[in-house]
Amino acid sequence: MKTMVTSFKTRKNAEEVRPIFLYEIQYDKVGNQWLYYCNWPENIVFDGITYTRFPITHNRISENLAGKVDKVNLRIGNADRQIQYYLENWSGLRDAEVRIKMVWQEEINDPTCFDENVFAIADSTSGDEEAMFVLASKMDVLDIRLPRRKYYRTYCTFIFKGEGCAYSGAEATCNHTLQRCIEIGNVHRFGGCPAIPEKTVYI
């Protein structure tokens, strides 16, 4: 998803401009926690947010013939293991939102003057020196893995007495089998798929 405001277009057409790229990475969706970085010799304050100087860059953002933004590779320094911490504690940052903003140094005090692309992290890898994120459009439904849970023939993946299971009786344990679900009278909420003709796991 791309955002470009009128003031940005005006500055873009000026004779001399110095662009600054700002990066916003949401690492915790529940707590709405973000990382703010900039590829600039010093920290940047834009629209009340401080973007920390960091070794971070991305390849050119371009659109294909269908008007869709192609996937973008984002590289970020990992020598201090800071990014590694977020990768290990937030599932590789899979599906995390990433916003790449371009602002002009001459208009850094104008919070309305920016160009923005919004992505989701489709894949991530890390090494001793840097980590790389593959960014895809949030609207790219072809990259969404469906379904998002595994289905078993005779095993229920729901948490016992949880939202999916919804059992509220006196029994205290469950081995997640179809037989157990029948015994406690909760078979209508069984989270397996008995219709699967064999014991293969379907994803």
Distances (CA, A) of 139 to 23, 32, 94, 135: 19, 20, 15, 12
CATH of the domain at 58: 2.40.10
User: In Å, how far from its chain's centre is CA 124?
Assistant: 10
What is the spatial distance between Cα 43 and Cα 20, in angstroms, rounded to a whole number? 11
> What is the torsion angle, in degrees rounded to the nearest 10, for the CA atoms of residue 46, residue 47, residue 52 and residue 53?
-10
Element (H, E) at 179: helix 178-183
What is the spatial distance between Cα 42 and Cα 45, in angstroms, rounded to a whole number? 10
DSSP class per residue in 54-76: -SEEEPPP-B-TTSPBPPEEEEE
Same domain, 7 and 73: yes
Same domain, 169 and 196: yes
Same domain, 11 and 46: yes
Same domain, 82 and 161: no
Q: Could you tell me the end-to-end alpha-carbon distance of the chain, in angstroms, rounded to an integer? A: 29
Domain that holds residue 175: 145-203
Cα maximum dimension of the chain: 77
Same domain, 18 and 59: yes
Residue 90 half-sphere exposure toward CB, CA atoms < 13 A: 24
Instruction: Please report the pLDDT score of residue 169 as a whole number.
Output: 92
Same domain, 93 and 81: yes
Mean pLDDT, range 143-147, rounded to an integer: 49
Same domain, 132 and 160: no
Contacts of 109 (CB under 8 A, 6+ apart): none
Instruction: Please report the pLDDT score of residue 184 as a whole number.
Output: 94
Same domain, 179 and 137: no
Helix (H, G, I), strand (E, B) or coil at 162: coil
Same domain, 126 and 151: no
Q: How many domains are contained in the chain?
A: 2
Instruction: Please report the pLDDT score of residue 77 as a whole number.
Output: 94
Per the prediction, the chain carries an average pLDDT of 82
Query: pTM for the complete prediction?
Result: 0.61
Q: What is the pLDDT of residues 157-194, one digit of tens each?
A: 888 998 889 999 999 999 989 899 999 999 998 888 77
